[in-house]
Structure formats: C-alpha cells, structure tokens
Amino acid sequence: MMLMSDQPVPVRPGRKRSEESRLAILTAAFELAAELGYAGLTIEGIATRSGAGKQTIYRWWPSKADVLLDALATKADLYVPVPDKETYAADLREFLIASFALGRKQPVVDVLRALMAQTQIDAEFGERFRVVFLQRRRNALSIILNRAHARGELPPDASPETIADIVFGTIWYRLLATDRPLDEQLANELVTVVARPRPKPDSSSHGNLT
Amino acid sequence: MMLMSDQPVPVRPGRKRSEESRLAILTAAFELAAELGYAGLTIEGIATRSGAGKQTIYRWWPSKADVLLDALATKADLYVPVPDKETYAADLREFLIASFALGRKQPVVDVLRALMAQTQIDAEFGERFRVVFLQRRRNALSIILNRAHARGELPPDASPETIADIVFGTIWYRLLATDRPLDEQLANELVTVVARPRPKPDSSSHGNLT
DNA sequence: ACAAATCGAACCGGTACGTATCGATTCAGT
DNA sequence: ACTGAATCGATACGTACCGGTTCGATTTGT
C-alpha cells in the first residue's frame, strides 16, 4: 500500500482521502481481475464496480497495474512468516511450504502473473513491483540464508544471491510457464538441491561440520 | 513460422503468398519492438514500416505477439546446439554458456520478455509460445538429462522435470525480475547445484536403483 | 482468357485511455 | 462562522488503437 499516499504531513486543509473509496477500488480491482482476467480489466470497469469516479482512481494510482499491486498488499493473507527451526533445510522447507500455500490461491496467482507481465512491458511499474513485492519476499529468504551462513550450514555451491534466484526462479517459472503445481514434492526437491541436507539418517548425523 | 499457413497442398489457384512481404513484416516487427518496446509496438506501425497493408498482417497472424514469435523463430541465431561431452556437468555447462550468449543480445531478450508477458495475459498465445519456443528449449535440455540418466550420472535429488524447471526458472527469473546478467558464474553455480559433479566417482553412489 | 487469391490503401465502429471540468462535500485555519 | 483547499462522484471530450470491411490493382495458376 501507500504507493502514492505518503502523506508526509497530513496537516493539509481540504477533504481527507476517502478510505472507503480506496478500499472499494482495491477490492473491485481484485475481483474484476479474477473475473475477467487482466486483459479484461479496465480503469473504467473498476470505477463502475467500486462506485468511484475515474478521476479518483487516476488521482491516486498511475496505472491499473499499480491498483492491483496495491490491492495485493492489502490482502493480508499474503503474509509469510520467516520460520526459525533447527536447520537451514527445515527453515527453507517451511518457507517454501508456506509460500506455496499462497501460490495455490488462483486469484492471487492470476494477479501475480499479471503484475509480472506488466513488469516486462512497463519498466517504471516494474521497478515498483520489484521494490514492493519481489524484494520483500527476497529479504525474507535472505534472513534464512544469512542464518544458515552464520551456522556454517550454507553449501558453498552458490552465492546467496544465486540461491535466491534459483528458489524464486523455479517458483515463478512454474507459475508463468508451466501447468505444474507448487506442491510438496517441489518443496522437497528444492530443499534437497539447494540446501542439501544430509539425507542419510544412518551416517554422520548431527555434526554440522560440512 | 507457419503458425497459420499449414497449407497441406498448395494446389490453390490464385496469387501466392508474398515471401517478401512476410520477411519485411517480421523484420519490421522485430526492429520496432527493439526501438519502441513492446508497449509501443503496434500493428499499424508494423504495416507502415514493412510497407505492407494491415490486412496482410491480420490475414496471417492473429496478434502482434504472434508476429514477434514468428520473427523470433526466423532469427536463425537462436539455434543452440546440444553438446555431447564426456560428463553430464560438462554438457550442462556448455548448454548454459551457449544459451546465455543469446541472453545477452538485448533485442532478443526484449522480445522474449514481451512474449513471456503476453503469455500471462493471453492464454491462447501462451499455449503457442510454450509449444513453439519453451518446449523446444526444454527438449534440448531433456536430451542432456536423459543421457546423464543413462550414464547413471543424474543425482536423484530431483526429477528431470524439476531439474529443467530449476534451470530455466533461474534463467527466466534473471531476465524477468532482476538486473543481474547471465554470466559464466551463474552457469558454474547452476552446474554445481544441479549436476553436482562427483568429486569422487568412486564407490557407493553407482548402484542407483531407480 | 479467366478465375482465384493476393496485394496496398482507405475507411468504419467500438473500446479504452487519459484529461478536463463540474457541482458538491469535507476539513483546516482564521 | 467564514474562507480556501482538497477531495469526492460524474460526465464529457479528444486520442489511439484495434478488429474488420471494402476497394481497385496485381499476380498467379488453370
């Protein structure tokens, strides 16, 4: 949220921004995107559905993609906690499972795909999308990776940056380019490939010297 | 190419399709996409630049994205050979290096990003994009993976399908969502993570009962 | 010679965009 | 209480592009 509305000093004369309209616009945009698809989404449609005027939308958001980005942030269920378990592998697996749960909500996925698409077409929006969404998810993973590094659990195969690219890349690729789901198997495989837990419970177990 | 023009028997009277117009349209589309970006690309612009009529374009392609997809296929420099070296890791590395070379041609990358974007917005085009482009690249990698599997070199960490998702996912993610380049370091890291070259091709690991 | 299918060019209708403007409303400062 | 500023919903307007049609001219195969 607050893409534009960084009211540095809310001591301004005049009518206040209508929170009611704002919410009505965001939910209307999200609903319409789910119903009609991003291609069928239109500013005028959002205005009609929300009962707001077109100008009210243009006043606060530079594009329909920004409305959707804002609507996404308003969806509180996007929150993914950063787990803190015993091992790097367990943390990563938990993170993936929680993320995949979001990735199964079809409207959310549809919006995400649309925003990623718009990112390719509109560079300025893309910058906002990266900062507001992608970077946040990446930071969450970074916490896990840093903790693993501090514990000496991080395999030296790849830099943390690349690890993040691999993890998010795989997720996004499934969403954008395939019909395969984000399921538990993928989580397990990713953990195995990237975190490489000592999967043999028989041999050298808990000694965390790699 | 030949998205529509699968004329099984060209025994039709009348004027033949102009190969000259076809090429002019494809190159004009590619150039304009590079110059103006996908958002600035328009059918009418392509018609003007190529000297063709709008109707000629609409007659042969269902959308501007399909024109670009066709133009991409016409670009012969998209060919990536399937290497056949001694080891799985070497094959994969070669494949990545060659692919990354394409990924550094800015116009090609721009077009690829636009097509992936359109895939998110237009499902029918997306299907064509997957078949004509994505699947082909994937098949090339599959050859490498199958060979590795036959040699018993494939780590059981993840299924070949997932391996492909990881490899292409990471590449696409860098193109779509980051400013990081497709460089040799990424190739090395990906090979290490995914192919995990055995430092010791020794004892236990070969008896992989699938 | 004839028919068929193409070509480039010029139109039309529709849709959405983005801007501008209106009267009404709400709020801060005086 | 009054004034000015900023908001609101709403409407109107010009622009751009799309998808489609029609036209005459040209090319090609029967």
Between residues B52 and B94, which one has the greater pLDDT?
A: B94
Three-state DSSP class for residue B5: coil
Confidence of residue B16 (pLDDT cuts 50, 70, 90): confident
What is the reported pTM?
Answer: 0.88
Which candidate, A88, A82, A203, A84, places its Cα nearest to that of A152? A88
Contact present, B38 and B110 (Cβ < 8 Å): yes
Mind listing the pLDDT tens digit for each residue in A97-138? 999 999 899 999 999 999 999 999 999 999 999 999 999 999
For residue A44, say whether its CB is under 7 Å from any atom of strand C: yes
Q: How many CB pairs under 8 A join A and B?
A: 122
Closest nucleotide C1' to the C-alpha of A59: D7
Specify the pLDDT at position B197: 67
Give the span between the Cα atoms of A43 and A7, in whole angstroms.
Answer: 24
**Chain A residues whose beta carbon lies within 8 Å of the beta carbon of residue B119:** 117, 176-177
Contact present, B130 and A177 (Cβ < 8 Å): yes
Distance from the B172 Cα atom to the nearest Cα atom in chain A, whole angstroms: 7
Give the span between the Cα atoms of B14 and A209, in whole angstroms.
Answer: 77
Taking an 8 Å cut-off on Cβ atoms, the answer to whether B118 and A119 are in contact is no
Provide the 8-state DSSP code for A191. Answer: I
Distance from the A18 Cα atom to the nearest Cα atom in chain B, whole angstroms: 32
Task: Count how many residues are written for chain B.
Answer: 210
Q: Cα A134 to the chain's mean position, in Å?
A: 6
Q: Name residue A171's amino acid.
A: I
Specify the pLDDT at position A198: 55
**Chain B residues whose beta carbon lies within 8 Å of the beta carbon of residue A38:** 120-121
Give the span between the Cα atoms of A47 and A40, in whole angstroms.
Answer: 14
Confidence of residue A29 (pLDDT cuts 50, 70, 90): very high
| Chain A nearest-CA residue for B127 | A177
Distance from the A35 Cα atom to the nearest Cα atom in chain B, whole angstroms: 13
Which candidate, A202, A104, A168, places its Cα nearest to that of B177? A168
